[in-house]
A and B are shown apart, each in its own frame.
Chain A
Amino acid sequence: MTAYDYWSITQGALATISLSLVSIVLGVPLGLALALIRWAKVPVLDRFVYSYVSIVRSCPTVTLTLLVYFALPQLGLSLDPVPAAIVALTVSTSAFNCEIWRSSLVEFPRDQYDAALSFAMPRLTRIRRIVMPQVYRASLPALVNEMTLQIKSTPAVAVIGIVEITRAALRVGSNTYQPLPPFIFALVLYGLIVFALIRLQRTVEKRLRSGGLA
């Protein structure tokens, strides 16, 4: 493996990180919105959200990516590989994030909500001032955990031709006829990214326990 090969795999790492970052930035608030719909028991819509989450959570990311990239053009919506990958990753992470937000919303103590209600706090202030600060603290560890899983599911978008770490390593391997070194280098890169996220999670949890960041 030449220095250029290492460099091309590292460039793949940039694609992996930016794709997962974009899908996380879009998917976390989307998940919250879905969770709020289910929590508020909006009629009809909450049944839709329930089925959406159930279907997407059981759908392999590869199949979802193929569906978005190849099937949407049939409905008149053609996407380039990068937007298609972002849509597929966002759809899948939003379903998992929805469940995380929902489980902390369900555990939110009802009496606090009622107390805010008895002070005649408007609905939005109630959610923003009373519910969100606590729910956000409760969900953060699980959300970071889902981010690590998200990093690990990005290779799925390689099937529509996006060059991220795994695909870059595969290309180097087929050029040099030595598949092992690039794959091991790719493993090291993934290890570093996941390790950085786990460290982040520990720091965040420590900060939360000492009362900051809220």
Chain B
Amino acid sequence: MTHNFLIIWQQRDVVLAGLLNTLILLAVSGLASLVLGALLAPLLVSGNKVVSRVAAAYVDAMRCAPFLLFVYLIYFGLPTLGINLSNWSAGALALILYNTAYMGELLRGAWLELPASLIESGKAFGFRGLTLLRRIILPPVLMRATPLIGNQLIQIVKDSAFLTVIAVSELTHEMTGIQATYFIPFAAFVAAVLLYWCICLAIEAATGMLNQFAEERRA
């Protein structure tokens, strides 16, 4: 058994490349879905019925669909509409579109908890549109939502493992390759699980620190 783990160690270049790819996917899609979610949240709480209905329909559709199905839909569906993407960009696009809905929804939750007087007084000082959003509404919303955003980032890490089915070379995909070459499934997948665990522990630690910072700011 220890010999098997030594083989994983010898293949560390491949493993690290997979890990790096998972981390890049996490960073790209986490950042993009957070920004897009922040733009989606005002549509969800919009006073215009049509706009809020359409936005809510998008969020509900994403929340009903399993991520794997959505990946297939993007990967096989878009080419029939004449849009051709590489595996990696199709995977990243799926991660971004799927998680934007969740980010938007959790930011909406934090937004609804804001005291109305805060927004009213912002308006009274002449803030409007995007400036109102950026200066007055989003900072407290983001601080409030930090733990939930952390959870969603962990969800992105877990979802990224599904991208192995469309041959994106992330951590699980590389480990499947190694186990198929050297017939060491146990060592390969246990190493993968432990690496995923480390990523999630790091995310938890980071959000914990951010949350503490937010609470100090609020106090």
Question: A70-B179, A159-B164 are contacts. A63–B68 as well, Cβ < 8 Å?
Answer: no
Q: Which of A114-122, A123-131, A150-158 contacts B (4 or more CB under 8 A)?
A: A150-158
Please give, as numbers and ranges, the residues of chain A lying within 8 Å of B64 by CB-CB distance.
Answer: 187, 190-191, 194-195
A70: min CB distance to chain B, Å: 4
List residues 172-214 of chain B with CB under 8 A from any CB of chain A.
172, 175-176, 179, 184-186, 188-190, 192-194, 196-197, 199-201
Complex alpha-carbon distance, A70 and B175, angstroms: 12
Please give, as numbers and ranges, the residues of chain B lying within 8 Å of A187 by CB-CB distance.
Answer: 61, 64-65, 69, 73
Q: Which of B46-54, B120-128, B154-162 contacts A (4 or more CB under 8 A)?
A: B154-162
Complex alpha-carbon distance, A55 and B197, angstroms: 6
Q: Which of A24-32, A101-109, A165-173 contacts B (4 or more CB under 8 A)?
A: A165-173
**Is there contact, CB below 8 Å, between A155 and B154?**
no
Q: Which of A33-41, A79-87, A178-186, A205-213 contacts B (4 or more CB under 8 A)?
A: A178-186
A10: min CB distance to chain B, Å: 15
B77 within 8 A of A: yes
Q: Flag B58-76 by CB within 8 Å of A: 1 or 0 each.
A: 0001011111110011001
**Is there contact, CB below 8 Å, between B185 and A70?**
yes
On chain B, the number of residues with a Cβ less than 8 Å from chain A's Cβ atoms is 40
Question: A66-B189, A71-B186, A74-B185 are contacts. A58–B199 as well, Cβ < 8 Å?
Answer: yes
Closest to B183 in A: A74
B165 within 8 A of A: yes
**Is there contact, CB below 8 Å, between A59 and B72?**
no
Please give, as numbers and ranges, the residues of chain A lying within 8 Å of B185 by CB-CB distance.
Answer: 66-67, 70-71, 73-74
Please give, as numbers and ranges, the residues of chain B lying within 8 Å of A57 by CB-CB distance.
Answer: 200
**Is there contact, CB below 8 Å, between A63 and B66?**
no
Chain A interface size, as a band, is 35 or more
A112 within 8 A of B: no
**Is there contact, CB below 8 Å, between A169 and B69?**
yes
**Is there contact, CB below 8 Å, between B69 and A59?**
no
**Is there contact, CB below 8 Å, between B200 and A58?**
yes
**Is there contact, CB below 8 Å, between B193 and A64?**
yes
Please give, as numbers and ranges, the residues of chain B lying within 8 Å of A183 by CB-CB distance.
Answer: 69, 72-73, 76-77
Please give, as numbers and ranges, the residues of chain A lying within 8 Å of B200 by CB-CB distance.
Answer: 57-58
A203 within 8 A of B: no
A214 within 8 A of B: no
Closest to B162 in A: A62
Q: Flag B141-179 by CB within 8 Å of A: 1 or 0 each.
A: 000000000000010011111101100000010011001
Seed contacts A71-B186, A156-B68, A187-B64; 15 additional CB < 8 Å A-B pairs: A55-B193, A55-B197, A58-B154, A64-B193, A67-B192, A70-B189, A75-B186, A151-B66, A155-B69, A179-B76, A180-B76, A180-B77, A183-B76, A187-B69, A190-B66
Complex A-B: 8 CB contacts under 8 Å: A60-B157, A60-B196, A66-B189, A70-B189, A71-B188, A170-B76, A183-B76, A187-B64
- Residues of chain A at the chain B interface (Cβ within 8 Å): 54-55, 57-64, 66-67, 70-71, 73-75, 151-156, 158-159, 165-166, 169-170, 173, 178-180, 183, 186-187, 190-191, 194-195
- Residues of chain B at the chain A interface (Cβ within 8 Å): 61, 63-69, 72-73, 76-77, 80, 154, 157-162, 164-165, 172, 175-176, 179, 184-186, 188-190, 192-194, 196-197, 199-201
- Nearest 3 CB-CB pairs, A to B? A58-B200, A60-B161, A179-B76
